[in-house]
């Protein structure tokens, strides 16, 4: 039994099943792990899903970490809930990613998956209900578990429940696409919480515009997650990163660098980023041969055709630009498709300009990490549709992510920014980025939940 509970799809540990039947434990990082460490593990329980065969085997054998409760949900139910609803419906809605003439299609198959989503949420609600002390605080994470607050409220009216959304929230015109009863159930689930947290006021307002919050007793609050400067700098200045940095420097020479680091995710806007870079080289030919665009764009969700096709388009456009402008000793775009955090940190340190131009993004921590580890100061070109915009807008060069010409011009301004100005801005960006580090972010929510209801 615990007085503080966290629920999230992915937990703080995972298990890999070896060929000899052994189980290897892997520990994750991230804001929640760091945040929950502020609470004694004797008082806390983290409820999460078994994700792979290793996790399922660990559950079967009763192997586990103290304070972690892993749920072995039926794999078909899990796949329908996680891929079929959370990542294919709710992710697309909240990020406005649907190609509306063709998608979404809410048919009988969708209905079947929605029942799995409900069951998967219910498994979490029941586990939480069974593990919570009288009056305990429960912090439910993200769009995977949007029904948990309502379900848990019915099982345990005594609990204090918070839900935090790490994505944006769909605008009313998008939310309205859901079947009415499904939309109502989704909102009922969310409004079971005492507090609903979002990264920025933009998403909080989007939620309030599509829901009937008044009179429900639910508070809508903004907790903009920041980065832990000390931890991040320690990671970024390890010898392994120094080595990658030296390699990158050798590759780039004395050219300026425009750096981006993303999963190849539809919302990240990598294509328009490349188009803006092409327009820069066309409109401002003085940059030809003098700049390199380092784009880390590692594959994501390759089980979905729309992601595979997007990934192909990114590679094709980069090649097109290299064919059009490249010379014997200059490759304009270097795309790296390997998910390599060490290389990313080296690129962060090296960057003269960072390009963070998502079409819609819950927060975007890359925008907050780069200023913290930058060596010489880095000009940040930032989309106004990223959650980070609210805190970083004053010292970033902000752009409309659909406006490729404006983005190209912002890249030029960033590249020509005098060094003292760039250093000053980077310092202020780093301060803003670290204003609410994970532990404080977590404790703020916990305190808000335990305060007078």
Nearer to its own copies, 105 or 323 (CB): 105
CB 69 within 8 A of CB 45: yes
Nearer to its own copies, 100 or 214 (CB): 100
Interface positions with its own copies (CB under 8 A): 96-102, 104-108, 110-111, 171-174, 176-180, 266-267, 269, 271-272, 275, 279, 282-283, 306, 310, 313, 359, 400, 402-406, 408
Least Cβ distance, residue 179 to its own copies (angstroms): 4
Nearer to its own copies, 313 or 336 (CB): 313
Q: What is the dihedral of CA 12, 244, 415, 284, to 10 degrees?
A: -110
Nearer to its own copies, 175 or 347 (CB): 175
For tokens 């080595």, name the residue.
243
Least Cβ distance, residue 97 to its own copies (angstroms): 6
Nearer to its own copies, 40 or 413 (CB): 413
Least Cβ distance, residue 366 to its own copies (angstroms): 18
For tokens 């009415």, name the residue.
180
Least Cβ distance, residue 113 to its own copies (angstroms): 12
CB 398 within 8 A of CB 382: yes
Nearer to its own copies, 314 or 446 (CB): 314
Nearer to its own copies, 98 or 298 (CB): 98
CB 296 within 8 A of CB 345: no
CA distances from 267 to 176, 262, 431 (A): 20, 10, 27
Q: What is the dihedral of CA 382, 388, 391, 397, to 10 degrees?
A: 0
CA distances from 201 to 54, 197, 207, 360, 379 (A): 39, 10, 10, 14, 25
Nearer to its own copies, 37 or 405 (CB): 405
Least Cβ distance, residue 116 to its own copies (angstroms): 16
Altogether, the residues listed in the chain come to a count of: 453
CB 200 within 8 A of CB 224: yes
Least Cβ distance, residue 173 to its own copies (angstroms): 4
Least Cβ distance, residue 180 to its own copies (angstroms): 7
Nearer to its own copies, 6 or 270 (CB): 270
Burial 177-205 (b: 16+ CB within 10 A, else e): bbeeebbebbbbbbbbbbbbbbbbebbbe
Least Cβ distance, residue 165 to its own copies (angstroms): 17
Neighbouring C-alpha atoms within 13 Å toward the C-beta of 268 = 24
Handedness of CA 146, 151, 154, 157 (dihedral sign): negative
CB 389 within 8 A of CB 295: no
Residue 219 makes CB contacts below 8 A (sequence gap 6+) with 194, 195, 196, 448
Least Cβ distance, residue 273 to its own copies (angstroms): 11
Long-range contacts of 28-31 (CB under 8 A, 24+ apart): 30/438, 31/225, 31/438, 31/441, 31/442
């Amino acid at each position: 039994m615990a007085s503080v509970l966290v629920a999230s799809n992915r937990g703080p540990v995972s298990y890999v099943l070896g060929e000899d039947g052994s189980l290897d434990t892997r520990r994750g990082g991230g804001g929640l792990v760091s945040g929950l460490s502020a609470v004694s593990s004797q008082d806390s329980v983290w409820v999460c899903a078994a994700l792979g065969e290793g996790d399922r085997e660990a559950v079967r054998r009763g192997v586990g970490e103290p304070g972690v409760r892993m749920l072995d949900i039926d794999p078909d139910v899990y796949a329908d809930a996680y891929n079929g609803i959370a990542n294919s419906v709710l992710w697309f809605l909240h990020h406005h990613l649907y190609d509306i003439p063709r998608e979404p299609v809410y048919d009988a198959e969708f209905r079947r998956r929605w029942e799995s989503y409900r069951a998967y949420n219910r498994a979490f609600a029941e586990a939480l209900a069974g593990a919570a002390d009288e009056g305990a605080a429960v912090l439910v994470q993200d769009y995977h578990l949007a029904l948990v607050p309502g379900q848990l409220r019915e099982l345990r009216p005594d609990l204090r429940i918070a839900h935090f959304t790490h994505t944006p929230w769909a605008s009313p015109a998008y939310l309205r696409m859901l079947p009415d009863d499904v939309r109502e159930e989704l909102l009922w689930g969310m409004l079971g919480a005492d507090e609903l947290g979002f990264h920025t006021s933009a998403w909080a307002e989007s939620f309030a515009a599509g829901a009937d919050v008044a009179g429900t007793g639910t508070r809508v609050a903004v907790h903009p997650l920041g980065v832990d400067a000390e931890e991040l700098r320690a990671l970024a200045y390890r010898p392994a990163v120094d080595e990658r940095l030296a390699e990158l420097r050798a590759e780039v020479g004395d050219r300026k660098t425009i750096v981006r680091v993303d999963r190849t995710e539809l919302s990240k806007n990598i294509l328009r980023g490349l188009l803006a870079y092409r327009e820069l080289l066309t409109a401002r030919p003085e940059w030809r041969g003098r700049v390199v665009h380092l784009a880390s764009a590692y594959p994501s969700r390759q089980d979905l055709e729309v992601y595979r096709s997007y990934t192909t388009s990114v590679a094709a456009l980069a090649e097109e630009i290299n064919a059009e402008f490249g010379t014997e000793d200059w490759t304009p775009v270097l795309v790296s498709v390997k998910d390599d955090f060490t290389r990313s940190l080296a690129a962060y340190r090296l960057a003269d300009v960072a390009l963070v131009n998502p079409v819609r993004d819950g927060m975007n921590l890359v925008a907050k990490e780069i200023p913290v580890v930058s060596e010489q100061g880095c000009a940040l070109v930032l989309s106004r549709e990223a959650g980070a915009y609210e805190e970083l807008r004053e010292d970033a060069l902000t752009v409309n992510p659909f406006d490729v010409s404006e983005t190209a011009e912002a890249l030029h301004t960033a590249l020509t920014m005098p060094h003292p100005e760039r250093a000053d801005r980077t310092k202020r960006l780093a301060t803003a980025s670290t204003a609410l580090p994970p532990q404080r972010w977590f404790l703020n929510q916990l305190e808000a939940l335990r305060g007078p209801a």
